[in-house]
Amino acid sequence: MPYNFNGKNIFITGGSTGIGLESAIKFAQLGANKVFITGRNENTLNTAKELIGKNAEIIIADVGTDAGIKAMVDKVAAGGIKLDVVFANAGIAENNTFGETTNDEFDKTFDINVKGVFFTVQELLPLTSDGASIILTASIVSHKGMANLSLYNASKAAVRSFARSFATDLKARNIRVNALSPGATLTPIMQNGLKMDTAALEGFKQYISQAAPSGRVATPDEIADVAVFLASDTSSYINGIELDVDGGLAQV
Ligand SMILES: NC(=O)c1ccc[n+]([C@@H]2O[C@H](COP(=O)([O-])OP(=O)(O)OC[C@H]3O[C@@H](n4cnc5c(N)ncnc54)[C@H](OP(=O)(O)O)[C@@H]3O)[C@@H](O)[C@H]2O)c1
């Protein structure tokens, strides 16, 4: 069945680059009425808006802060519309050394990846339609213990857990909630968050080519295709799951 988002309103945190941006472009191409995207950097948001087209609405907001959550809610409320898809996708991935990790590092990852997802979904609930689809970007690390990423791994385990709980708590409103867990995907997070230089990125790609049955890293486009699927009526009986999109990396 071809996807159709005609007249639908889509909200994507972290929609300025990577997985969120590719998803926003797809939703717009599939007829969405409004595609709200958020991020902290105004320049990347403006560039993204050019790529998405006239239906894009940008919101400069840090999901890890109360002010950022309020800015998102205010913008949607001002539009006088209800959301059909909420894609809580914004997140950071930063290495932390167990034994030397600071309170600030802990708070930063949990404020953005955990509190940010929780309060994005909760505070937008009054502006979300009954029957909507909510998608939370977790990661295959939700069920792995990747080295030097204990904070990130745990934050994504929390996100996966939210999908179970929110699906239960939103039953009466017929809102589906699922976690989308990418594997290794080529996005700016590799440079910005994980601080990989060219050599480190090549080494990582080489490792994935050996470790993943699909023999390569993903493109953000491939993850966005699955976000569209989970947002669509084609996945109408999928609820509370974690869908790994990882080329088999964490499956074997
Ligand atoms: N790439 C992978 O291999 C991979 C694997 C598994 C899971 N993921 C998850 O996929 C999601 C998207 O990441 P990506 O790979 O597409 O990386 P990305 O290109 O770096 O995208 C991250 C997005 O989140 C935004 N963001 C980060 N911190 C934010 C904050 N505090 N408030 C609002 N927006 C914020 C970024 O914009 P600003 O920086 O301008 O705020 C950007 O739009 C993340 O949750 C990540 O953990 C990625």
Token duo for residue 212: 């993943």
Residues 99 and 87 in one domain: yes
Residues 166 and 193 in one domain: no
What is residue 33's three-state secondary structure?
coil
Residues 118 and 49 in one domain: yes
In a domain, 159, yes or no: yes
**Gap between the Cα atoms of 59 and 166, Å rounded:** 24
Residues 110 and 154 in one domain: yes
> Would you write out the chain's pLDDT as a tens digit for each of its 252 residues?
689 999 999 999 999 999 999 999 999 999 999 999 999 999 999 999 999 999 999 999 999 999 999 999 999 999 999 999 999 999 999 999 999 999 999 999 999 999 999 999 999 999 999 999 999 999 999 999 999 999 999 999 999 999 999 999 999 999 999 999 999 999 999 999 999 999 999 999 999 999 999 999 999 999 999 999 999 999 999 999 999 999 999 999
Residues forming beta bridges with residue 75, ordered by sequence position: none
Domain span at residue 213 reads 188-217
In a domain, 210, yes or no: yes
In a domain, 3, yes or no: no
Residues 206 and 98 in one domain: no
For residue 45, report the distance from its CA to the centre of ligand 1, in Å: 13
Residues 20 and 46 in one domain: yes
Find the CATH number of the domain harbouring 158.
3.40.50.720
Burial of 91 (0-12, 13-18, 19+ CB in 10 A): buried
Residues 202 and 129 in one domain: no
Residues 154 and 197 in one domain: no
Number of domains in the chain: 2
In a domain, 250, yes or no: no
92 close to ligand 1 (CB < 6 Angstrom) = yes
**Gap between the Cα atoms of 233 and 230, Å rounded:** 8
In a domain, 171, yes or no: yes
For residue 207, report the distance from its CA to the centre of ligand 1, in Å: 22
What is residue 179's three-state secondary structure?
strand
* Ligand 1 nearest-atom number relative to CA 192: 20
* Ligand 1 nearest-atom number relative to CA 159: 45
For residue 18, report the distance from its CA to the centre of ligand 1, in Å: 7
Residues 48 and 124 in one domain: yes
